[in-house]
Amino acid sequence: MSQRPHTPLLDLISRPADMKTLSDDELCQLADEVRAETVSAVSETGGHLGAGLGVVELSVALHAVFDTPRDRLVWDVGHQCYPHKILTGRRDRIRTLRAKGGLSGFTKRSESPFDPFGAGHSSTSISAALGFAVARDLGGAPEHGIGDAIAVIGDGSMSAGMAFEAMNNAGHLNRRLFVILNDNEMSIAPPVGALSSYLSRLYAGEPFQELKAAAKGAVSLLPEPFQEGARRAKEMVKTMTVGGTLFEELGFSYVGPIDGHDMESLLSVLRTVHDRATGPMLIHVITKKGKGYAPAEAARDRGHATAKFDVPTGKQHKAPSNAPSYTSVFGKALVELAGEDDKVCAVTAAMPDGTGLNLIAERYPSRCFDVGIAEQHGVTFAAALAAGGMKPFCAMYSTFLQRGYDQVVHDVAVQRLPVRFAIDRAGLVGADGATHAGSFDIAFMANLPEMVVMAAADEAELMHMVATAHSINDRPSAFRYPRGEGVGVELPEKGEVLEIGKGRMIQQGARVAILSFGTRLAEVEKAAEALAAKGITPTIADARFAKPLDRDLILDLAADHEALITIEEGAVGGFGSHVAQLLANEAIFDTGLKFRSMVLPDTFIDHANPARMYEEACLSAKDIEAKVLDVLGVAQIGEKRA
């Protein structure tokens, strides 16, 4: 970080309009201050650091040149938006990032008019910016009007099909639209794929001053001093095997590559394109993830995400762990299986470390596939691996699997192919908030014919479910487990193959039975302790399977108890709904059984730590205890939590 003494300019900037009077030198100074403020804030909050540090100059330059919020600036994923938040009236709350009641870690429409489109999942920005451009041209938002539409998308996010669907449409619609390709040669992990290699080839070995404006019209859009270099670059590009850049072939004018940390280049190119562009334009900006903060620049993930840390050393303050994470238990179990069975293979969509597949990638690299941010392709690719005789484990976060859902239905389930879905980050995930919550997978997987759906109650159960999924060769299966540490149970040497569709009894009690699906079981057991003190001993069972249901277990529990309560870390439509359907169809409600289903509330829950989120969702031990007392008609002393 620059150490030069200066009068703090950031104190004078409460919104981008305040930047309009700053000189270019002052904008450079402002960028240094924004970088220091970003590092300082994230050291206190934790969060996504590296991506934001890489776009500090770009954020300042975009706000200096464009007229936000009238011009709609759309950040892809939104994990790089902290500098943007600092510049757009949220500096006073920047140290509340990702905490309950604080700023979101992503862009969010309800938070600020400077966030015209919310994000969290990748590769949506070009579609959104194009939508704004067309709304503008059709006279939308007549009160304030819509000016320009600008998408800022990273090289990793550019690999997704959705980005290309938008480019395809934008090239055809031919509206004035800016796509800034922020190329830092990083995704969360190093980027993979032919597109990544292509982008590198676009600037390999070229000094930045030799701006390659390969598009016919683009040369004239560049500032005078750059035009000669650009002409030469254009000649050079003509000699390449491709006829022009891929982006030009799609109907965009291409400008770049530009050094995204050189404010002078950024400002002059953005001013020129701002003044002269008529159609869609792609500006290729080269940046460094983690730029300007040495510990981030040196980290394997370039500081992509961090816990709170000490600024001078970069040392992160991580709470000591008491148990292995579910992710690592899954990753190790899969490596073991892959050692025993050479048909086992694995697919991740740009999350090798996050899903634990880094372990199999290291040990059996030829059987682990990082397909990039391409969940749809990843699922279909896994389907065909299965059709071709392999045993694929498709490991995705619950929230990102949503993007591959048609492929789950059409390519996997309809064809009854034995893809094993390892669904990580199931349930509420904490600081990433609503966009990343794994709330829907039980519902959207369990409604598919023949799909086997399991949820692990603890990390030993997860090992059994990996083994069980491996053994299912005639249909698809899925097992879900949450973010974070397990409960600390002893791990078996090897996972056991479970009997399909059979749950397990945890405790035999009377009057009320609690049937848990997944890791709420620990809270159920806590609630049972509190209930024991009140003379109530609930029966507790772990369903293990949402599909097929353990009919015998459920019907026995229903027959032997006054009340049956189901609980799961998922939205309505999941496990509890399937149990209710069974009870209704078997006319069990006619017998007077009291049935309650505890699910996530029908609302999107904002970021907080997971325990707080589950309290808000009324799925914690206290809520389970209250539900039992309520269903049994036992009077409760004390107040109900608001």
Ligand X SMILES: CC(=O)[C@@H](O)[C@H](O)COP(=O)(O)O
Which residues form the interface with ligand TPP (CB under 6 A)? 51, 54, 77, 79-80, 121-122, 154-157, 184, 186-188, 289, 349-350, 373, 375, 400, 403
In the complex, minimum distance from the CB of residue 398 to ligand X, in angstroms, rounded to a whole number? 11
Position of tokens 């004078």? 12
Helix (H) or strand (E) holding 616, with range, is helix 610-616
**Beta-carbon neighbour count of residue 62 at 10 Å?**
25
Query: Using CB under 6 A, which residues numbered 305 to 334 contact ligand X?
Result: 305
CA dist 231 and 221 (Å) reads 12
Instruction: Evaluate whether 424 touches 355 at the Cβ level (below 8 Å).
Output: yes
* DSSP category for residue 322: S
- Report how far apart, in Å, the C-alpha atoms of 20 and of each of 28, 74, 366, 571 are: 13, 20, 53, 47
Residues 6+ apart with CB under 8 A from 595: 558, 563, 564, 565, 579, 580, 583, 589
Q: Is 210 annotated as a binding residue?
A: no
User: What one-character-per-residue DSSP string does 185-207 give?
Assistant: S-SSSSP-SHHHHHHHHHHTT--
Q: Is 493 annotated as a binding residue?
A: no
| Residue number, 58 or 579, with CB nearest to ligand TPP | 58
Q: Is 293 annotated as a binding residue?
A: yes
* Catalytic residue flag (residue 248): no
Q: Helices 621-632 and 521-532 meet at what angle, rounded to 10?
A: 60
Q: Is 122 annotated as a binding residue?
A: yes
In the complex, minimum distance from the CB of residue 401 to ligand TPP, in angstroms, rounded to a whole number? 10
In the complex, minimum distance from the CB of residue 50 to ligand TPP, in angstroms, rounded to a whole number? 7
- Residue 403's binding partner out of ligand TPP, Mg ion, ligand X, none, with CB under 5 to 8 Å set by partner kind: ligand TPP
- Residue 432's binding partner out of ligand TPP, ligand X, Mg ion, none, with CB under 5 to 8 Å set by partner kind: ligand X
* 535: region left, alpha or beta (phi > 0 left; psi from -120 to 50 alpha): left
Position among 72, 425, 475, 627 found at the interface with ligand X (CB under 6 A): 425
Residues 6+ apart with CB under 8 A from 228: none
User: What one-character-per-residue DSSP string does 39-86 give?
Assistant: HHHHHHH-B--HHHHHTHHHHHHHHHHS-TTTSEEEESSSTT-HHHHI
- Residue 475's binding partner out of ligand X, Mg ion, ligand TPP, none, with CB under 5 to 8 Å set by partner kind: none
- Residue 305's binding partner out of ligand TPP, ligand X, Mg ion, none, with CB under 5 to 8 Å set by partner kind: ligand X
Residue span 146-165 as binding mask against Mg ion, x where in contact by CB under 5 A, dash where not = --------xxx---------
| Residue number, 157 or 597, with CB nearest to ligand TPP | 157
| Rg of the chain taking only CA atoms, in angstroms | 27
Q: Is 404 annotated as a binding residue?
A: no
Instruction: Evaluate whether 436 touches 105 at the Cβ level (below 8 Å).
Output: no
| Residue number, 415 or 609, with CB nearest to ligand X | 609
CA dist 525 and 507 (Å) reads 9
Kindly report the backbone phi and psi dihedral angles of residue 354, in degrees, each rounded to the nearest multiple of 5, phi listed first. -60, -30
Q: Is 157 annotated as a binding residue?
A: yes
Q: Is 326 annotated as a binding residue?
A: no
Q: Is 79 annotated as a binding residue?
A: yes
Query: Using CB under 6 A, which residues numbered 351 to 370 contact ligand X?
Result: 354
* Catalytic residue flag (residue 4): no
CA dist 505 and 539 (Å) reads 8
- Residue 350's binding partner out of ligand TPP, Mg ion, ligand X, none, with CB under 5 to 8 Å set by partner kind: ligand TPP
In the complex, minimum distance from the CB of residue 354 to ligand X, in angstroms, rounded to a whole number? 4
Query: Using CB under 6 A, which residues numbered 180 to 219 contact ligand X?
Result: 188
* Catalytic residue flag (residue 480): no
Q: 33, 57, 375, 461: which one is catalytic?
A: 375
| Residue number, 79 or 483, with CB nearest to Mg ion | 79
Instruction: Evaluate whether 163 touches 153 at the Cβ level (below 8 Å).
Output: yes
List, in sequence order, the alpha helices (H) in 356-421: 358-363, 375-387, 398-401, 405-407
- Residue 483's binding partner out of ligand X, ligand TPP, Mg ion, none, with CB under 5 to 8 Å set by partner kind: ligand X
In the complex, minimum distance from the CB of residue 156 to Mg ion, in angstroms, rounded to a whole number? 4
**β-strands 504-507, 539-542 pairing:** antiparallel
User: What one-character-per-residue DSSP string does 514-532 give?
Assistant: EEEESTTHHHHHHHHHHHH
| Residue number, 119 or 170, with CB nearest to ligand TPP | 119
Instruction: Evaluate whether 316 touches 309 at the Cβ level (below 8 Å).
Output: yes
Structure token digits, residue 417: 């192919």
Query: Distance between alpha carbon 87 and the CA centroid of its chain, in Å?
Result: 24
End-to-end CA distance of the chain: 46
Strand partners, 397: 424
**Beta-carbon neighbour count of residue 590 at 10 Å?**
9
Query: Using CB under 5 A, which residues numbered 159 to 198 contact Mg ion?
Result: 184, 186
Position among 483, 520, 561, 627 found at the interface with ligand X (CB under 6 A): 483
Is 248 a binding residue for ligand X by CB under 6 A? The answer is no
Position among 77, 401, 524, 564 found at the interface with ligand X (CB under 6 A): 77
| Residue number, 184 or 577, with CB nearest to ligand TPP | 184
Structure token digits, residue 138: 């059709």
Structure token digits, residue 86: 């600092």
Number of residues that bind ligand X (CB under 6 A): 10
Kindly report the backbone phi and psi dihedral angles of residue 308, in degrees, each rounded to the nearest multiple of 5, phi listed first. -60, 150
Question: Which listed range, 12-20, 424-432, 528-536, 631-639, lies at the site for ligand X (CB under 6 A)?
Answer: 424-432
| Residue number, 272 or 399, with CB nearest to ligand TPP | 399
| Residue number, 155 or 525, with CB nearest to Mg ion | 155
| Residue number, 373 or 413, with CB nearest to ligand TPP | 373
Q: Residue ranges for the binding site for Mg(2+)?
A: 155, 184
User: What residues act catalytically?
Assistant: 289, 375, 403
Site residues for Mg ion per CB under 5 A: 154-156, 184, 186
Q: Residue ranges for the binding site?
A: 79, 120-122, 155-157, 184, 293, 375
Q: Residue ranges for the binding site for thiamine diphosphate?
A: 79, 120-122, 156-157, 184, 293, 375
Site residues for ligand X per CB under 6 A: 48, 77, 79, 188, 305, 354, 425, 429, 432, 483
